[in-house]
Structure 1
Amino acid sequence: MRPGFEAVRETFAEVVDGSTGGAAFSVFRRGAPIVALHGGRAAPQVPWTGDTRVVLFSGTKGIVATVAAVLTARGLLDPDRPVARYWPEFAAAGKADVPVSQILAHTVGLPYVETDLPMLDNAANAAALARQSPLWAPGTRVAYHALTYGYLLTELIRRGTGDDLGSLVRTLLAEPHNLDLRLGTPPTVPVATLRRAPGYRISTFLQDPQRRRVVERMYRGLLDSTDTMNSAEYRGAALAAGSAVGTATAMARLYDLLLSGELVPPDVLARATRTWSEGVDAVNDRPLRFGLGFELADPIGTYGPAEVAFGHSGAGGGRHGAWPEHGVSFSFTTNELQAEDVDTRASSLLAALHETL
């Protein structure tokens, strides 16, 4: 760790001391690592190291948004083009004119799959969503598409490129840049064991019982126990909304590569990280602000004190992103899921980092 970041180290020590799991915090600045911290347990009797991988949950969405930006830069995906131009079946139920941008910005109105299908079946869920009517006129409301973001983009990108997203994560990001990231992880790859902190729950902004039932349909029980989230089947399913696996170093470096212009030209990144949707989530009551697949700095400080930020958080506390005005990228990974309304780990680390800078 670079000298001068002792306050970050002290804050991280407090985070680990208050956890029964483990964590890592990695920071890059203009291509150079400046913070690399890890501690606690990846599993019982297994210490967390700098190479510990963890399921990233919705941190996966930021990886997929990066792939979408790369494809846009290469002329293979156009956010303004109708989804149906790539995926004709999607035109059903009044969706013929829905642009790609509305899927990326969570405004398409398909937050859950109406048909009861296996959660890990990308193709079946995508086909069902293509037939499905939106809950609202696409583009008129914003609501987090917790799992359907993945089904929709997996099929859209497959139709547009002929490749599956797991392969594109590998060939566009992981292999050329030596990033320990996977979407579709073999069972032989070691991954930290996930655990739920006592009282863990989702959608902590939501009080309405009717919309709580909508949330239950959205998440399909994924976060209700550790059995599914720790399974080799879940990690191997290549769910583009939440089953990627990686290290904190890899995630921080990914956002560093975005800032540097090495992955996409500055104009493409600027377009992907400007505001495409914002407001209070129509389902969850949480303030939201999205670019093209990236979360942006919001009123509740998800990305710390920086006024300009982009990235993506993950269920249970993961936080990955960048502060462009500081030339800084970061990733906080953990295997202990804490509820958003009580979890201060990433926020305290980002506050200490911002103060140090």
Structure 2
Amino acid sequence: MSLNAAQTSEFAEFYHSLMQRLGDEGSALAVFKNGECLLNLVSGESSPGVPWRDDTQVICYSACKGALAMAISRLVTRTDLSYGDTLARWLVIPPEHALSSITVGQLLSHQSGMVAFHDRLAEESIYHYEDMCRAALRELPWFQKPTLAYSPFLWGWLVSQLIEAVTGEPFEHSVSGVSYGKLGDDETLAVLTPNRAALKSYRTQSLKRSLGPNGKEMTRSAFMNPSSLMVGHNAKRWTSSMIPAASGRASAFGLAGAYAEFLTVTVKDTDYSPAKTIIHGPCKTTQTEMAFSYGFMRPQGTIDTQFGSMTGGFGHSGAGGSFGFADIKHDLAVAYVTRSLGQAMFLDQRGAELIERLYLLLEIDNEL
């Protein structure tokens, strides 16, 4: 499928007017259909006075979890790894440690209980990848049985070690369209800033509220132990850090292209399909409803979880508003990255309106 010039122009005009109306200072949107790039749009500036480029990258926070999930899924498809494997089969964990019996599938679907660090970590620790990996392996689950509890940061250090163990290669540089570590001389990174306009709220729970006085101790520990996980994200030290679940950077074109390529290799009709919901219910960490396949967020039939169609969609959003997803049913891959940070838990108003308009353009709007 392809779009004609009039359709492309009409959608581009909608995109730019939406960004202006909703206070977005700089962003990009890319859409692939059947492996072909249909849309590659940029808006605003990557930093004051610097126009956004096709290859401008953004720290996309948890949206980069989708890249890790794609990497694990590829290993499972090649039978190098199984979601039923225990972590102890691949990682150096004492047999008596509670972490040893947790399965890869439980970890990927946020049922492992490995949510946050119990003991207070030094503020500097997040800049030392090997130290954080060792700390993650020493950590204990917060629950005695499989429980849906989302891990914003700790999850990534465990998954990256799993990828290293199975592949025999160090986790560094890039994975599935997402880059990590020191910024290359030819790379442009957008400067993050709060979104200029208030965005519509689709649910009562927000990240800000979860971290407030009524938030659970585990929730605050998950996001703020150490507090350096939540501050200073424009600083060179943070942007070059290896925080696999949060510090990944991507362009919209690169992230959407990775999902498009993933659709060519993923297995669609199995128990471990990325479009098959593994767990759905109240999340102990975010204090709201969540749904996951193995590593991917799944649509819940709500406007802020439109990660593709109910039957074929999967992806991941990130704090601030960036997201990437694929839709197996319609062979569609979409990514949006922004420097203007909102407060939504999942898709914010920008993402929700973009996706609705896109599916309408492609005449598959009734699938959301």
Same fold (TM over 0.5): yes
The equivalent position to 1:276 in structure 2, one of 264, 271, 278, is 278
1:122 matched residue in structure 2: 129
**1:312–1:112 Cα change, 3 Å:** same
Query: Unmatched 5+ residue regions in structure 1?
Result: 174-178
1:109 and 1:136 in contact (8 A); partners too: yes
1:42 Cα offset (Å)? 0.4
1:292 Cα offset (Å)? 1.1
1:132 matched residue in structure 2: 139
Matching residue's letter, 1:197 = N
Distance 2:306 2:9 in 1: 21
TM-score (norm 2): 0.84
Cα RMSD (Å) of the superposition?
A: 2.7
2:355 matched residue in structure 1: 350
Distance 1:207 1:223 in 2: 13
1:150 matched residue in structure 2: 156
TM-score (norm 1): 0.87
Q: Secondary structure at the match of 2:28?
A: strand
Matching residue's letter, 2:74 = V
The equivalent position to 2:310 in structure 1, one of 307, 312, 336, is 307
Query: Unmatched 5+ residue regions in structure 2?
Result: 200-204, 363-368
**1:49–1:207 Cα change, 3 Å:** closer
Distance 1:245 1:207 in 2: 24
Matching residue's letter, 2:25 = G
2:17 matched residue in structure 1: 14
1:166 matched residue in structure 2: 172
The equivalent position to 1:45 in structure 2, one of 49, 56, 75, is 49
Matching residue's letter, 1:39 = S
1:223 Cα offset (Å)? 6.7
User: CA offsets, 1:244-284, max 9 Å, x none?
Assistant: 111101111111112223xx444579533322221111121
1:239 Cα offset (Å)? 1.6
Distance 1:279 1:250 in 2: 32
Distance 2:335 2:208 in 1: 23
Distance 2:300 2:10 in 1: 25
**1:287–1:28 Cα change, 3 Å:** same
1:176 matched residue in structure 2: none
Q: Alignment identity in percent?
A: 22
User: CA offsets, 1:112-144, max 9 Å, x none?
Assistant: 1123141233332332332332111242x1111
Matches for 1:68-217 after TM superposition, within 5 Å:
68-89=72-93, 91-115=95-119, 116-117=121-122, 118-139=125-146, 141-166=147-172, 169=175, 173=176, 181-186=178-183, 188=185, 189-197=187-195, 203=207, 206=210, 209=213, 211-217=215-221
Distance 1:94 1:223 in 2: 26
2:325 and 2:334 in contact (8 A); partners too: yes
1:71 Cα offset (Å)? 1.6
Which stretch shows the higher mean deviation, 290-299 or 229-238? 229-238
1:40 Cα offset (Å)? 0.6
1:103 Cα offset (Å)? 0.9
